[in-house]
Amino acid sequence: MGLISEELYEVMQGTVDEWIRCYDDIPYAKDIPSSLPYHVSLTNRGYRALVYSGDHDLVVPHVGTQEWIKTLNFSIVDDWRPWSVDGQVAGFTRSYANNFTFTLGGGHTSSEYRPKECYNMFKRWIDHKPL
């Protein structure tokens, strides 16, 4: 190791707790406050939101996300339809006054499972292009 690398290593040691990717148990009894009021507040101010779920997410299932979005009472602009990347169906989308999309084969961290598809989804959304 060079001198700079050794100094950086010494600074970094002890600054971060052990990182654990996922826990083995899911805390079902844990009460997590709703983010709904924040979402409503931001969308009422004109901010767009891309809400997406992986269809293989067992921690936050996409059907739960769909129910959460229904409570926002947004108008449906474009009903369920497939969206594609490189000619392959990457998932399905339903556009509201905002947007809801789910990726086929995506898990709890969709971009980890389907990086190309999630990149395309985000790029199109940020560029105001349809999926």
Q: Where are the domains of the chain?
A: 46-126
Q: Which pLDDT band holds residue 8 (cuts at 50, 70, 90)?
A: low
128: left (phi over 0), alpha (psi -120 to 50) or beta: left
47 half-sphere exposure, CB direction, 13 A CA radius: 10
Exposure string for 97-108, b = 16+ CB within 10 A, e = fewer = ebbbbbbbebbe
Residue 99: what pLDDT?
Answer: 63
For 46-126, the fitting CATH number among 3.40.50.11320, 3.30.1360.40, 3.40.50.300, 3.30.930.10 is: 3.40.50.11320
Nearest to 117 by CA among 93, 99, 97: 93
Lowest mean pLDDT among 6-10, 41-45, 62-66, 76-80: 6-10
Residue 117, pLDDT above cutoff 60: yes
Please report which helix (H) or strand (E) contains residue 102, including its range.
strand 99-103
Residue 16, classed as helix, strand or coil, is coil
Residue 9: what pLDDT?
Answer: 59
Its sign, for the CA torsion 118, 123, 126, 131, is: negative
* Rounded distance between C-alpha atoms, residue 131 and residue 121, angstroms: 6
Residue 112, classed as helix, strand or coil, is helix
Report pTM.
Answer: 0.68
**102 vs 1: which has the higher pLDDT:** 102
**51 vs 86: which has the higher pLDDT:** 86
Do residues 92 and 102 touch, judged by C-beta distance below 8 A? yes
Residue 4, pLDDT above cutoff 70: no
Residue 84: what pLDDT?
Answer: 93
